[in-house]
Amino acid sequence: GAGVSQSPSNKVTEKGKDVELRCDPISGHTALYWYRQSLGQGLEFLIYFQGNSAPDKSGLPSDRFSAERTGGSVSTLTIQRTQQEDSAVYLCASSLVGGRLSSYEQYFGPGTRLTVT
Amino acid sequence: EDKVVQSPLSLVVHEGDTVTLNCSYEVTNFRSLLWYKQEKKAPTFLFMLTSSGIEKKSGRLSSILDKKELFSILNITATQTGDSAIYLCVGGSGGSNYKLTFGKGTLLTVNP
């Protein structure tokens, strides 16, 4: 079956512009995660959606970042007024059930490489 | 197509045991190999390996990379129940198209 997909795969934008990154999780997966990976750095958690619960936004680095998940499926990560330090690979992952180790395996999308010039 | 393969997929041990987790990779323009520990939500960064044969250590955890054999291992000695987690191996490619290739992870369960 289809895995997690993300679009676009690459995005180059000018500083100050807004960008939207999209994630299509695996059908039936209730948990969805956004991460980012800057060059040479570890994976940084951004936000976590679980079913209809309020999302865990504790990882969002600033109020320029927001995300939503419509209908419990597709998610959009929006970065407003982009800065050069926002350049990174943004990864989306989904899992069947979030929070329980035994059913926790996350399936990652291919990522969106964002470059802010 | 780039790929990262981890083995075993799952492992159950008793406290005090030593475990070795394996990771083989085929990554174009390879630059680094990363290990993460994943318990609940966000994976926790463990190691980044870029040079062959140099062991990195952090407490009871250690890891080494073999760039000739395209292989890395993660060792955990004197395991504790708190080590129970999924351990992710990730290959990072360099150059102008930096990207990550994730393994599926090894689920480690440490029983008391």
Each residue's pLDDT tens digit, A49-65: 888 888 888 788 999 99
Instruction: Give yes or no for residue A66 having a pLDDT over 60.
Output: yes
Tell me whether A40 touches chain B (CB under 8 Å). Answer: yes
Residue B45: what pLDDT? 75
Can you count the helices (H) and strands (E) in chain A? 0, 10
Nearest CA in chain B to A11: B97
Q: Which residues contact B100 (CB under 8 A, 6 or more apart)?
A: A37, A89, A91, A108, A111, B34, B90, B91, B92, B93
Is-contact A110 A8, C-beta < 8 A?
A: no
* pLDDT above 90 for A41: no
> Are B64 and B73 spatial neighbours (Cβ–Cβ below 8 Å)?
yes
For chain A, the structural domain boundaries read 5-96
> CB atoms < 10 A from the CB of B69, how many?
9
CA distance A55 to A33: 10
The architecture of the domain spanning A5-96 is: Sandwich (2.60)
3-class DSSP state of A76: strand
Per the DSSP assignment, residues forming a β-bridge with B86 are B38, B107
Q: Which residues of A are less than 8 Å from B40 in CB distance?
A: 99, 101, 104
Task: Name the band, by pLDDT with cuts 50, 70 and 90, for residue A99.
Answer: very low
Q: Taking residues A88-92, what's their average pLDDT?
A: 91
pLDDT at A30: 85
Q: Which residue has the higher pLDDT, B91 or A103?
A: B91
CA distance B58 to A83: 34
From first to last of its 112 residues, chain B has per-residue pLDDT tens of 788 999 999 999 999 999 999 999 998 888 888 898 887 655 777 888 888 998 999 999 999 999 999 999 999 999 999 999 989 998 877 654 456 677 888 989 999 9
Is the CB of residue A80 less than 8 Å from the CB of residue A18? yes
Closest CB from B41, B102, B105 relative to A45 = B41
Which domains, and CATH codes, for chain B? 3-111 (2.60.40.10)
Number of Cβ atoms within 10 Å of the Cβ of B11: 17
Task: Find which of B27, B41, B84 to mutate to test the A interface (most A CBs within 10 Å of its CB).
Answer: B41
Q: Give the closest residue to A27 by CA, choosing from A100, A107, A116.
A: A107
Query: Chain B contacts of A108, Cβ < 8 Å?
Result: 100, 102
Q: What percent of chain A has pLDDT over 90?
A: 45
